Structure 1
Amino acid sequence: MPTIAYFGPRGTFTEQAARGFDDAAELVAYPTIPLAVAALRAGEADFACVPVENSVEGSVSATMDALAAGEPVVAVAEHVLPIRFSVLVRPGTAAADVRTVASHPHALAQVQRWLAEHLPGAQQVTAGSTAAAAVGVAEGAHDAAVTAPVAARHYPLAELATGVADEGDALTRFLLLAKPGALPAPTGADRTSVFAVVAHRPGELAALLTEFALRGVNLSRIESRPLRDRFGEYRFYLDLDGHVAEARVGDALAALHRRSQLVRFLGSYPRADRVGTAAPQAGTDTDFAESARWLAGLRQGEHA
């Protein structure tokens, strides 16, 4: 039975996502994202499940930084969850009794309108996770917690409300991480993730992006995070459509490696939405193979 380390404690959306990857796996909660990834690196778990981006609040910086530091790990799958919250209280607590409401900052940001309407007088308190907020309510530190619905299964709390969300289509994307090894086979609906550090000169980022455009590789996400030891300089995280096994994607990544000071491959894996990532005209593996044969012929003196 595989073991999945995940960002806990029990009752988080990350636990829900981990069960979506493998409901039969043994799940082990860790109090922070870096510790969950460290457990994978140390061999304490076969996989790690971490959130990477939210459609309302954007990227999860702790995950991006954890992927950049330490021994390489790679994503082998992704899972997307619709985000709907439950507001949990101690049994017998009414809305009028709530003076403090706690949750992770990302969760609080996604229920601001609901809180203003239903708990307008409650002080908002940040917690390390939605489940940690539930623990705080159970221990009497807070009156209410904005949590993942699964938290109600783990803690002796009552639902004041459920299905809570300011944005009806809010989503969070999670990655299943593993140590480097054999990659998932291409499916025709794949995503590849990398980060790169480029020279701090005018035009370097534009030149980097051009390498993908010239090969018909679509970038679905590009974000930056500061280099901690080089103030004013950044690493760029890229999600692109396609699999590293595809000629056009491999060629683009090779060009990225030539142009960059550092490149780290973060995985090629099936997209959760299963949307196809077909190569454009003249960008198929067959096109690249024929071009390579033609070039080899030229180098051998065949000019037909």
Structure 2
Amino acid sequence: MLSMSICTAGARIGYLGPAGSWTHQACVELFGDADLVALDRQALFEALQAKTVDRVCVPVTTAVVGATPYLDDVLALEGVHVVAEYPKALGYSLLARPGTRRQDIRTVVAHPVALEEVKPWLDLEMPGVERKPAASAGAAAQLVAQGTASDMAAMGPPGAARIHGLAAIVNGIEEGPHNTTRWWVLGHALPAPSGNDKTSLLLTVDETGFQRSLQALAGSARVLAIYERPGRKSLDGHRYVIDVAGHASQPQIARLLARHVEFRLLGSYPRRY
């Protein structure tokens, strides 16, 4: 679990519900199963802004599809920081109502990102099934559990079977480091330096200033990853989420933020990979 500096006793942790999602599983591994609050996408971020929850956990990048749809939700928040990251190699389970046989399944339901992650397996093992998107792995499992059809299955974490009364027909689908998701834990106060930290920045810049900003960044920190996001204002405007080594309190990164307003601090947190 995370240190007490990140999550204090009794803190309410919000996650993308319903229960049985990968984010639920990540929160259980990080914080235990007490004080977890399942919320839908809009309510999750509203609760964090309103401080009715202390932390939220959101999947932001995956090895298969890159940035998730939730990354832009995070960038729209104000007064919120990334306070931790959690990478996890996933292995999906094919979940169905008890008694369902694999050959009976005609429809597989999963989050759109999950459908991309399990696509190689489905193409090879179940090429004829219909693939339907769901809001989360928990929602997919819930849909299968509450339905009356015996020809539907969900893709999700093994723990969703216990929560929703389903059976795992196949386990370990696309399991391995090639199928890794990274979650961000969001809160309101940056943690102190740990000695091995990562800082995430948002660079908003037009084409004329892009090279200047990159040169300033290269002189201040070691770049670990860059994700381009939609500019939202014009074709020549760009936004980049940039991970660099080090903590925002280190002099070089602090000077960069003070001198270059095009960089916005998203968070500094202990590096997990």
TM-score (norm 2): 0.89
Provide the residue aligned with 1:280 in structure 2: none
Partners of 1:137 and 1:46 lie apart in 2 by 32
Q: Which amino acid aligns with 1:218?
A: R
In the TM superposition, what are the counterparts of 1:59-78 in structure 2 within 5 Å? 59-62=67-70, 64-78=71-85
Report the secondary structure of 1:154's partner residue.
Answer: helix
How many residues in Structure 1 have an aligned counterpart in Structure 2?
Answer: 262
Q: 1:51 aligns with which of 54, 59, 63?
A: 59
The equivalent of 1:251 in structure 2 is 255
Aligned pairs for 1:130-279 (under 5 A) are: 130-140=137-147, 143-165=152-174, 169-179=178-188, 181=189, 183-198=190-205, 200-202=206-208, 204-215=209-220, 217-257=221-261, 260=262, 263-273=263-273
CA distance in 2, matches of 1:206, 1:19: 42
Helix, strand or coil at the partner of 2:266:
strand
Q: Over residues 140-177 of structure 1, what are the superposed CA-to-partner deviations in whole Å (9 max), with x where a residue is unaligned?
A: 26611001122112101111111111655321111111
SS of match in other structure, 1:145: strand
Residues 102 and 127, structure 1, Cα contact 8 Å, conserved in 2: yes
User: Residues 64 and 178 of structure 2 are in contact (CA less than 8 Å); yes or no, is this contact kept in structure 1?
Assistant: no
Counterpart of 1:112 (choices 108, 119, 142) is: 119
The answer to whether the 8 A contact 1:134-1:155 is kept is: yes
Deviations 1:54-108 (A, max 9, x none): 111111132x222222422101111111111010011111111001111011111
The code of the aligned residue for 1:83 comes to: L
> Which digits, 9 at most, give the CA deviation of each residue in 1:226-253, with x for residues without a partner?
2334455222211111001111221222
Q: Which amino acid is 1:250 matched to?
A: A
After superposition, the Cα gap between the structure-2 partners of 1:12 and 1:231, relative to the gap in structure 1 and judged at 3 Å, is same
Identity %: 37
Unpaired runs of 5+ in structure 2? 1-9
5 Å-filtered alignment, 1:263-302, equals 263-273=263-273
Match of 2:92 among 59, 67, 85: 85
> What is the CA deviation profile of residues 208-264 of structure 1, one whole-angstrom value per residue up to 9, with x for unaligned ones?
11112223x11112122223344552222111110011112212222332xx2xx43
**What TM-score results when the alignment is normalised by the length of structure 1?**
0.81
Preserved CA contact (<8 Å) 1:103 1:133: yes
| Secondary structure at the counterpart of residue 20 of structure 1 | helix
Choose 1 or 2 for highest CA Rg: 1
2:89, 2:176 within 8 Å by CA — same for their partners in 1? no
Question: Any gaps of 5 or more consecutive residues in structure 1?
Answer: 274-304
RMSD of aligned C-alpha atoms? 1.8
